[in-house]
Amino acid sequence: MNKRLILLLGLMLCLMSFTAYQSPVLPSLPLSEAILIGKWRLDKVNLYDKDNTLLETISPETSSEIKPSIIEILPNHKVKVIDSGLITEEGSSYLQLWSLDKNRLIIKSKRKEMLLKISYYTSRQLTLEMANPNPSNKQSKAILFLKKLD
């Protein structure tokens, strides 16, 4: 009986050693604010319509006229726009504050409040989803891809 149990455990260990370990895509939430603090470069923005069809991808690689956008999320809950190629003048205000609510990043200015769902993150990469970025163009959502510079 003991030999069979030891043999079974040994066989299980051998089988498990050949199985690839898959880390979870999204670590457990809520997020730590410390992960977000630092300089981030906006790599690209994907715009989708109401049927979840990709309308357009905007990035410095697709257009030579657009320079990369760099923001800094500061520990005092302020957002500083360092270089704005894809960020509009309205979005580049230094008066913006940020907060974190579970898996949502909330950016507030005097006139607006943006809710950005954090759909994926690592220590070096962040993917944010914004609902209805431009209602006049019938865009349903925008997905923003950011990479950490620090």
Structural domain of 45: 2-148
- pLDDT of 72 reads 82
The whole-number average pLDDT for the span 78-101 is: 63
pLDDT band at 85 (very low <50, low <70, confident <90, very high): low
Query: Domain count of the chain?
Result: 1
Residue 23 has pLDDT above 70, yes or no: no
Q: Which long-range contacts (CB under 8 A, 24 or more apart) does 16-24 make?
A: none
Q: Can you give the CATH number for the domain in which 10 is found?
A: 2.40.128
Prediction pTM value: 0.66
pLDDT, tens digit, for every residue of 51-66? 888 888 888 777 666 6
Peptide bond into 135 cis (omega under 30): no
Instruction: Indicate the pLDDT class of residue 126, thresholds 50, 70 and 90.
Output: confident
